[in-house]
Amino acid sequence: MSKQIKVSSNIILLKVLGFSLALILVFTLVANMLPQVEGEAPVEKEVDLGALTMDSFVALGESTFSGKGTCTLCHNNMGRAPDILALKMVEVSESRLQDESYQGKSTDAESYLRESMIDPGIYVVRGFGKKGSNDTISPMPAVNKAPIQLTDVEIDAVIAYMQAKDGNEVTVPLPTEAPVMEVALAGSLPAPAATAEEALGRYACAACHTILGTESPVGPSLTDVGKRLDINEIRQSIIDPNAVAAEGFAIGIMPADFADRMMVRELEMMVQFLANQKG
């Protein structure tokens, strides 16, 4: 005997929908009540090499360490990798070099730190190797390759930071050269600067000379150099700055190797531009 059961489909549909939406709301609320953090993608920043001081270089290292370098993902107190922030890295580096299992090519703390970053597999600190590899394989990626891809300047900055944070002397020199351009697969040379302003920026003239809106007392102002020097004298000041000193300024301060570093096109653009700077 089939009993007829009273039922209303619409009510059921509403109940089912209501229940489902309420449950979905619970999940949505959970997601929205948790701490909301956005993950910024790393942005390519132009490092103003001219304005770099040792302090700002070390600070760059510190921000790279916890930022683009993503070092703190593993180098913390959870035991996955040496806790760099807690260790005195120069002393630790020197003791690692003494380890009989060390097979790398470094001789001092700075080179050891650089080697650890570019070729982490060459020496694995005991207890930190990949599981089951008996400390022969390092789980650390090479930081100058993808996905981290730190530039040489950034790597040097991080090393400087690791030295400076414990009060040790920073042996890494400040970068003065323009960073090496990303070399295309075909192995082509970096393109010359497109404009005089770009060339002035590339060779960090504004670090010492007042020009293009920035001021600096280190060298003579260039805003009126076209009035003071003729075009050949301007060229000579760049190629051979120690030949003639500007009035009130000493020789031996301006870098003397621009002739080796600049391209002819860049030099000529700058010379033309400066010759037109008549204040």
Partner 1 sequence: MKNLSLNLSLNLSLGRQLLLALGLLILLPGNVDPDNGFTLLNSASAAEADSVIGVASMAEAELVPAPKPGRGDYPSVGVSSRSVVWVVAQMHMFFAAFVLAVPLFVLVIEWIGVKTGDDRYDDMAHEFMKISMTAYSITALFGGALAFALFLLYPQFMEYMMRVFGSQTLVYAGLFFAESVCLYVYYYSWGALRYGNRKWLHLTIGLMLNAVGLTLLVIANAWSTFMMAPSGVNEAGAVTGSIWEIMKGPLWNPINLHRFLANIAFGGAIVGAYAAYKFLSARTQEMRAHYDWMGYTANFIAILAFLPLPFAGYWLMAEIYAYSQQMGITAMGGILAWLFIVQAVLIGTILLAGNYYLWSGMSRTEGSIRYTWMVKYIAIVLVAGFLVWVTPHTLILSASEMAELGGSHHHLLGPLGIMPAKNIAVNLMLIFTFMSFQIYRRADKVATVSWEKAGNALMVSIYLVAIANVIFAGVYYGYFTNTVYKVGSSVMQVVSTLMVIVSGIVIDGFMYKGAKILPSVWGRVSNRAQYALFALPVAFTWLMALMGYVRSSVRTHWHVYTVMKDNSPDNYIPTIGHAGNMMTIVTVLFLLCVLFIFWIASLANTKQPPPAPVTSKPS
Partner 2 sequence: MNLSNPVVVWVGALLLTLLFFYGMDHFIMLIQGLPLNFDLTPAQ
Q: What residues make contact with partner 2 under the rule CB under 8 A?
A: 131-134
Q: Which of 55, 103, 131, 252 binds partner 1 (CB under 8 A)?
A: 131
From partner 2, partner 1, none, interface partner of 185 (C-beta below 5 to 8 A by class): partner 1
As measured in angstroms, the least distance from the Cβ of 132 to partner 1 is: 8
CA distance 33 to 22: 16
Comparing CB distances to partner 2, the nearer of 95 and 134 is 134
Per CB under 8 A, the segment of 23-31, 55-63, 107-115, 225-233 that binds partner 1 is 23-31
| CA 62 to each of CA 17, 93, 158, 201, 235: distance values in angstroms, whole numbers, following the listed order | 53, 18, 6, 25, 40
Alpha helix locations (H) across 74-164? Answer: 89-98, 109-118, 152-164
As measured in angstroms, the least distance from the Cβ of 160 to partner 1 is: 23
Q: Is 189 in the site for partner 1 (CB under 8 A)?
A: no
Task: Name the token pair of 88.
Answer: 């005195």
Per CB under 8 A, the segment of 13-21, 86-94, 105-113, 171-179 that binds partner 1 is 13-21
From partner 2, partner 1, none, interface partner of 28 (C-beta below 5 to 8 A by class): partner 1
CA 97 from centroid of its chain's CA atoms? 27
Comparing CB distances to partner 1, the nearer of 46 and 247 is 46
CA distance 225 to 268: 15
In degrees rounded to 5, what are phi and psi of residue 148?
-85, -50
| DSSP E strands, 64-154 | none
Q: Which residues contact 54 (CB under 8 A, 6 or more apart)?
A: 160, 170, 174
Q: Which of 139, 175, 190, 192 binds partner 1 (CB under 8 A)?
A: 139
From partner 1, partner 2, none, interface partner of 41 (C-beta below 5 to 8 A by class): partner 1
Which of 168, 76, 68, 39 shows the shortest CA–CA distance to 60?
68
Comparing CB distances to partner 2, the nearer of 127 and 187 is 127
As measured in angstroms, the least distance from the Cβ of 131 to partner 1 is: 5
As measured in angstroms, the least distance from the Cβ of 134 to partner 1 is: 10
CA distance 30 to 127: 39
As measured in angstroms, the least distance from the Cβ of 49 to partner 1 is: 24
CA distance 209 to 270: 14
**Which residue's structure tokens are 């391209």?**
263
- Would you say 266 and 258 are in contact if contact means Cβ atoms under 8 Å apart? no
Residue window 60-79: x/- pattern of binding to partner 1, with contact defined by CB under 8 A: ----------x--xx---xx
In the complex, the residues that contact partner 1 under the rule CB under 8 A are: 2-5, 7, 9, 12-13, 16-17, 19-21, 23-25, 27-28, 30-32, 34-42, 70, 73-74, 78-80, 127, 130-132, 139-141, 145-148, 185
